[in-house]
Amino acid sequence: MKKLDESLLGGVPPFRKLQRPQVREILDLAEPKRFDAGTAIFDEGMAADRFYLLLDGHIRVLRTTEGGDQVIALHIVAGQLFGIAAAIGRETYPATAMPVDDCLVLSWPTSHWSKFTAKYDGFATESYKVVGERMGEMNNRLVEMATQQVEQRVARAVLRLIRQSGKAVEGGIEIDFPITRQNLSDMTGTTLHTVSRLMSAWEKGGLVKSSRRHIVVTDPHRLVVLSEKSD
């Protein structure tokens, strides 16, 4: 880890308020590891023995329902902490972390969490801000599920993804990791048939272009208008 320049992490939330020597101290305790797409980094219910920082790639966070189905809770993009069960007082992981593509992560033993938050004020404030933002996102999605029509929910889900990981391409903004219609249905509490019907209609209307695992938003403004439409 000594080869990883601490200045490269200056804008990453856990580190951006720390001095370079402090960042170096934390990095020297980290273990780097690569994970292949589709290979879980940890599973829901496992003992939370480590916490992680995603350096490269994208991670899908999955929760299992009482009926045994998996739903997508959120996505993690590069530069974010995950697996921080200790931050919410848990000894097990509340969800499964599944790489969407090949990922590079750093990890630390969970026992270091309390040491880092006690020793580095900036690490604590920035990390708990991330926790608050994710809880806010989850609450917003629960409200959407309870109060919004399916088309509006799906539009908001697509817009959330391009805000998190959008890449400008010819003809629009592409979600910069593999995403399927089944994934969208898992994110929005609807059926694959309904999402497929919506996406087909949006394609005909010039809002999006989609292939088997990729989505390009060709008219973001119209999609925003659709996401805010009220009955």
Where do the domains of the chain lie, and which CATH numbers do they carry?
A: 6-145 (2.60.120.10), 149-227 (1.10.10.10)
- Residue 128 to residue 230: CA distance in whole angstroms: 34
Q: For residue 145, what pLDDT is reported?
A: 67
pLDDT for the residue numbered 129? 83
Q: State percent of the chain over pLDDT 70.
A: 95
Question: In the structure, what pLDDT confidence band is assigned to residue 136 with cuts at 50, 70 and 90?
Answer: confident
Please report the pLDDT score of residue 1 as a whole number.
Answer: 47
Average pLDDT over residues 18-35: 92
Which helix (H) or strand (E) segment is 176 a member of? none
Q: How confident is the model at residue 122 (pLDDT cuts 50, 70, 90)?
A: confident
Q: Reply yes or no on whether the pLDDT at 230 is more than 90.
A: no
pLDDT exceeds 60 at position 14: yes
Q: What is the pLDDT of residue 215?
A: 92
Nearest Cα residue to 32 out of 115, 112, 103 = 103
Average pLDDT over residues 94-113: 95
Q: How many CB atoms lie within 10 A of CB 167?
A: 12
Q: Is the dihedral of CA 44, 50, 52, 57 positive or negative?
A: negative
